[in-house]
Amino acid sequence: MAKLHVSTTVNGEPLEFLCEPHDTMLDALRNQLALTGSKEGCASGDCGACSITLDDRLVCSCLMLAAEAEGHEIRTIEGMARGGRLHPLQEKFLEQAALQCGICTSGMLVASEALLAKNPDPSEEEVRFWLAGNLCRCTGYDKIVRAVLETATEMREAAQ
């Protein structure tokens, strides 16, 4: 079967790629577009290491077909720091030691950013349930939850 041609926007850049009909968005990001910040932990939507946003909606890129990106806007971990400046969540994860091995970190950050965009003042419980689709085996989540809550507070204060 001929490859499909896809025109999309990734991290603000319009771009095109070719893919097989069965390729996932994660395959396209990692293998076609050399954006390997999104990770494959399970390929079944259970671990969240491949989290991206599709038109600002948080999705597992392993559960999305690459062809579905046509005409839409994708954001990945590679687009989170703007102009060489880290996002406050990225800064806070570093300050709080909210990562150990780092394999889940891309997905955690993308998911956390999506949460704060929707809910700038989440409770601990809201953070925990929002991130329940992102597995971390190293940290026990404690420092991740604290980092997200503190970033939310600081971002709210900065916005005032």
Partner 1 sequence: MNIVVNNKWIGQRTIRPDGVDKVTGRAAFAADTAMPGMIWGKVLRSPHPHARIRSIDTSRAEALPGVKAVVTSRDVVDFPLDKSVMLGIQDMRWMCRNVMARDKALFPGHPIAAVAATTEAIAAKACELIEVDYEVLPWSIEIDDAIRPDAQILHESITFQGKPSNIVGQLEHKKGDIEAGFKQADVIIERTFTTRPVHQGYIEPHACLISVAADGKTTIWSSSQGQFMVRAMTAYLTGIPQSDIRAIPAEIGGGFGGKTIVYLEPLATLLAKKSGRPVKMVMTREEVMRATGPTSGSKNTVKIGARKDGTIVAAQGTFYLQAGAFPGSPIRGAAGCSFAPYDIANVLSVGYDVCSNRSKVAAYRAPGAPIGAYAVECVLDEVAESLNMDPLDFRLKNAAKQGTKAAHGPVFPRIGYIETLEAAKTAPHYSTPIGKLQGRGVASGFWFNAGGESSAQVNITEDGNVVVTTGHPDIGGSRAGIANICAELLGIDYRRVSVIIGDTQTVGFSNLTGGSRVLFASAMVVTQAAEKVINTLRERAAKIWEIDPEAVKWENGAAHPASPNAGQFEPLTLEDLAEKAPMQGGPIGAGVQLNTQGADGGFGTHICDVEVDIELGIARVIRYTAVQDVGRAVHPGYVEGQLQGGVAQGIGWALNEEYIYRSDGKVDNPGFLDYRMPVCSDLPMLDTILVEVPNPKHPQGVKGVGEVPLVPVMAAVANAIYRATGKRFYALPMSPPKVLEGLEQPIQQAAE
Q: Choose which of 21, 94, 119, 121 interacts with partner 1 (CB under 8 A).
A: 94
Q: Give yes or no for residue 24 binding partner 1 (CB under 8 A).
A: no
Point out which span in 1-9, 65-73, 89-97, 114-122 binds partner 1 (CB under 8 A).
89-97
What is d(CA 149, CA 21) in angstroms, rounded to the nearest whole number?
40
Q: Choose which of 51, 136, 151, 152 interacts with partner 1 (CB under 8 A).
A: 136
Q: Choose which of 16, 82, 86, 121 interacts with partner 1 (CB under 8 A).
A: 86
114 alpha carbon, distance to own chain's centre: 8
Contact 9, 72 (CB under 8 A): yes
Per DSSP, the residues of 9-28 read EETTEEEEEEE-TT-BHHHI
Q: Give yes or no for residue 103 binding partner 1 (CB under 8 A).
A: yes
154 CB-contact burial (10 Å; exposed 0-12 / middle 13-18 / buried 19+): middle
Q: How far is the CB of 160 from partner 1 (least distance, A)?
A: 26
The token duo for 35 is 């954006």
Q: Give yes or no for residue 150 binding partner 1 (CB under 8 A).
A: no
In which element (H, E) is residue 126 found? Answer: helix 124-130
The token duo for 41 is 């932990």
Q: How far is the CB of 68 from partner 1 (least distance, A)?
A: 20
Q: Which is nearer to partner 1, 71 or 124 (CB)?
A: 124
Point out which span in 2-10, 37-45, 65-73, 152-160 binds partner 1 (CB under 8 A).
37-45
Q: How many CB atoms lie within 10 A of CB 36?
A: 14
Residues forming contacts to partner 1 in the complex (CB under 8 A) are 30-31, 35-44, 46-47, 49, 76-78, 80-81, 86, 90, 93-97, 99-106, 109, 124-125, 127-129, 131-146
